[in-house]
Chain A
Amino acid sequence: KAGVTQTPRYLIKTRGQQVTLSCSPISGHRSVSWYQQTPGQGLQFLFEYFSETQRNKGNFPGRFSGRQFSNSRSEMNVSTLELGDSALYLCASSSAVGLITEAFFGQGTRLTVV
């Protein structure tokens, strides 16, 4: 069974640009969550999608958005990039059957904003 796939693995963007990251969950998983990891703040929850609907959102500005498609693949978008957006962006999928569900993480997309 293939794991969670994130593309691209590395990305360099300029301040003010926008970026789209992609996540393909494990087959059959309908929940996709996104996390941002930085050395200073650690791993922080961005948002979670289930069946194309955003069910939960973390404390991030509106520049961070996402969506989920009918095949459960998800994208996240960051507009008007700032230097502080440089981070590892991680996607996790789960079958979302209650609280006991384990989350499977991808290897992440390393975004560098210059």
Chain B
Amino acid sequence: DAKTTQPNSMESNEEEPVHLPCNHSTISGTDYIHWYRQLPSQGPEYVIHGLTSNVNNRMASLAIAEDRKSSTLILHRATLRDAAVYYCILPKLSGAGSYQLTFGKGTKLSVIP
């Protein structure tokens, strides 16, 4: 199974952009890259996903390296509400069309006022 590597923690100042890196050097050609985040005392929340091209949505942007061995989640202006653990995941497809999310330890993002 393809694995992901993320820094344990990062800090950002409020209203500054944040770049959260993820390495996935063993990614296969059909693996999608998903990002979730978990705010304190809540369940994980979907952020964004992509395959090859960079992606944008209202929450964040996802920049994917040309060789797809790494990606970066970009929060354009961090707010205090963005303080959370961010998980980079390559969903695993199992039999019968099911897929599962394998969560690593993620990156704990702290936002400084």
Residues of A within 8 A of B (CB): 4, 31, 33, 35, 42-45, 48, 50, 53, 55-56, 58, 90, 92, 96, 99-108
- Across the interface, name the chain B residue whose C-beta is closest to A33: B100
Q: Specify which chain B residues have a CB less than 8 angstroms from the CB of A55 in the assembled complex.
A: 94-98
Known: A33-B100, A43-B103. A108 touches B95 (CB 8 A): no
Interface set of B (CB-CB < 8 Å, partner A): 30, 32, 34, 36, 41-46, 49, 87, 91, 93-105
Q: Could you tell me the dominant secondary structure of chain A's interface residues?
A: strand
CA distance A28 to B34 in the complex (A): 22
Known: A42-B104, A103-B36. 8 other contacts (CB 8 A): A31-B98, A45-B101, A48-B98, A96-B97, A102-B34, A103-B46, A104-B46, A108-B43
